[in-house]
Structure 1
Amino acid sequence: MAEDGEAGTLWVVATPIGNLDDLSDRARKLLGTVPVVAAEDTRVSSRLLADRAERAELISLHEHNEARVVERLVEKLLEGADIALVSDAGTPLISDPGYRLVAAAHDAGIPVRTVPGPCAATAALSIAGLATDRFWFEGFLPAKSGARRKRLGELAGQTATLVFYAPARDLPAVLEDMIAAFGPDRRATLARELTKLHETVRRDALRPLHDWIAADPDQQRGEAVLVVAGSETTAPSVDPNALAEELARELPPSRAAKVLARLTGLNRKEAFELIESKRE
């Protein structure tokens, strides 16, 4: 706790991504004494607090309530209480909620400190066998294939190594879309269930990696990180609106929509509607 009249400290604490032995001594000590813990899922994080002599105040902080809860947490900090911010696994704010709280703490003049540790993205990068001097962290791709292909098309010319998160059940579909956007020979590494009992690390070209995963239901369980090699040459990005204007002038609507869908990842309905809007 802070001294009288002083604000508390917001501690951003990394927690294990699977193996509980990866919790650092510093993180363990802090979580054993801090009076308030802001957790993505209090049921998950409570296991890290089981050895405490005194019960901590657990406050749920997730993507659906963050804007509402931030004011309450900042008030506690200004009253002098230290708060530990944790996510379900890994380093908070990396594809997890928390940035609004951190920003609000800075704005209020509250000290913000880090207790670094596990992070699935950097753990996967370290064992991927791909270039790590520059990398692009994309996190989770859109759930729908059309939007996913569109985003992957925008990344096709990125020369930095690409890092994606994905539920393992979605891997066959995600890899199929990556093949469409990047080509079947782009190198990639699957890092699934990192630090857990059934951890998988496999490096291959996208097509054989897809086929191997599709043939093994066990590889479609849990959580995964896909690390994909960057492009060897920078490809110009495709602007769907500009392309739609050109195609609408040169081709019949149905043919223009088919070409637009193939080049951008839009589905046929979306492509047709965009072509029609350019003809009005």
Structure 2
Amino acid sequence: MSASFASALSAAHDAASAQHYPTGALYVVATPIGNLADISLRALHVLQLVDSIACEDTRHTQGLLRSYGLERPGSQLLALHQHNEAEAAQQVIARLQQGQRLAYVSDAGTPGVSDPGARLAAAVQAAGLRTIPLPGASSITAALSVAGAVAPTQASSGFLFAGFLATKQAERAAQVQQLGHEARCCVLLEAPHRIGELAQALAVLGPRPVTLAREITKQFEEIVTQPADQLPAWLDGAPQRSRGEFVVVLHPVALQDDSGEGLRVLRLLLAELPTKAAVRLAAEITGAPRNALYDAALQIKREGADED
């Protein structure tokens, strides 16, 4: 165990041991995405408490546990990854039905979002058993928290998680074209050997701001925002810029303000037509994104209701 974590297990016990941890339950545990200090005290306590740990890679998880001074025999680690998730889930269910507590961890971050775990959670719930989340590190929310791309006051609030795009060029180009019409913030993931290809594909989005976050929480973390059409040149500017795992945040499509044509036409149409019809016609007349106009229409309706 690293000396840095010598007191962590004691603190975990003091902070979390008084809570109730049901038997026959699956604990879905988020683990660090790079910085070992990003582990929760409750996660450390549960990883000590459970009877077995299902994990994406047993060797990786064994190394992670040892970093915190948590030794586990190999018999208490069950491999569960994207290639065997369905059959391994049945082994987990069998152990839970015996009254055991099990944890599930992916290699890094929160399971079941981009990593394996979703099928496992669904199977456990279908068997009438409990799934209990232990929140923690996530590259997706970490990138969103600093990108400044999801503001509740924007007409296009919220975000779309698209994950990894297709590897084939034509399919990827079609997906990018579809995302280009999406008014909300969009979050993508990409590997270092393909980030250049993704940047070339995104360049067709022109000046739309894109935040690249690589090596999040690690020593060489880098987070930058560039216009989409300048991403290839930025990546080519230094070799290290293409290294590490990437979260890519497409900022929302900017809708014109109240003096703009899209909103002007929308307000006129809303006075005479139902919301959906007004949005459809405003989009056809002005070319403004339909999703953004719809969000703006809802906001206009709310403002009208507040004034009544």
TM-score interval w.r.t. the shorter chain? 0.7 to 0.9
Deviation at 1:235, TM superposition (A): 5.9
| 2:57 matches 1:21 | no
**Cα distance per residue 1:68-106 (max 9 Å; x no partner):** 211111101111111111111100011111112111111
Partner of 1:82: 101
**Cα distance per residue 1:103-133 (max 9 Å; x no partner):** 1111111111000001000000001122244
| 2:114 matches 1:114 | no
Letter of the aligned partner of 1:45 in structure 2? T
Return the alpha-carbon distance in structure 1 between the equivalents of residues 192 and 244 of structure 2.
5
Contact 1:7 1:79 in 2 (8 A): no
Deviation at 1:52, TM superposition (A): 2.4
Structure 1 unaligned residues grouped into runs of 5+: 1-5, 237-280
Partner of 1:212: 234
Alignment of 1:225-236 (within 5 A): 225-232=247-254, 233-234=288-289
Contact 1:168 1:192 in 2 (8 A): no
Partner of 2:201: 177
**Cα distance per residue 1:145-191 (max 9 Å; x no partner):** 111111111221111101000012322210111122x2x21101110
Letter of the aligned partner of 1:77 in structure 2? L
- Identity over aligned residues, as a percent? 38
Alignment of 1:151-230 (within 5 A): 151-180=175-204, 182=205, 184-230=206-252
Contact 1:15 1:90 in 2 (8 A): yes
Contact 1:38 1:85 in 2 (8 A): yes
Partner of 2:25: 9
Return the alpha-carbon distance in structure 2 between the equivalents of residues 53 and 63 of structure 1.
25
Return the alpha-carbon distance in structure 1 between the equivalents of residues 178 and 72 of structure 2.
51
| Equivalent residue pairs, number | 229
Partner of 1:52: 70
Letter of the aligned partner of 1:65 in structure 2? N
* TM-score after normalising by structure 2: 0.71
Alignment of 1:25-36 (within 5 A): 25-36=41-52
Contact 2:51 2:102 in 1 (8 A): yes
Contact 2:109 2:138 in 1 (8 A): yes
Return the alpha-carbon distance in structure 1 between the equivalents of residues 35 and 83 of structure 2.
28
Deviation at 1:215, TM superposition (A): 2.5
Contact 1:14 1:27 in 2 (8 A): yes
Deviation at 1:234, TM superposition (A): 1.6
Alpha-carbon spacing, 1:54–1:172, altered in 2? closer, same or farther (3 Å):
closer
Partner of 1:135: 159
Deviation at 1:38, TM superposition (A): 0.8
Partner of 2:172: 148
Letter of the aligned partner of 2:236 in structure 1? A
Return the alpha-carbon distance in structure 2 between the equivalents of residues 214 and 45 of structure 1.
35
Return the alpha-carbon distance in structure 2 between the equivalents of residues 46 and 53 of structure 1.
8
**Cα distance per residue 1:178-229 (max 9 Å; x no partner):** 122x2x2110111000000110111121122321112322111110001011
Return the alpha-carbon distance in structure 1 between the equivalents of residues 71 and 245 of structure 2.
33
Deviation at 1:33, TM superposition (A): 2.2
Contact 1:120 1:225 in 2 (8 A): yes
**Cα distance per residue 1:13-72 (max 9 Å; x no partner):** 000000000001110111122111111111111123221255371111111111121111
Give the match's secondary structure for 1:71. helix
Return the alpha-carbon distance in structure 2 between the equivalents of residues 96 and 151 of structure 1.
21
| 2:123 matches 1:92 | no
Give the match's secondary structure for 2:37. helix
Return the alpha-carbon distance in structure 2 between the equivalents of residues 16 and 7 of structure 1.
25
Moved more, 124-133 or 142-151: 124-133
Give the match's secondary structure for 2:78. strand
Return the alpha-carbon distance in structure 1 between the equivalents of residues 174 and 25 of structure 2.
42
Contact 1:192 1:201 in 2 (8 A): yes
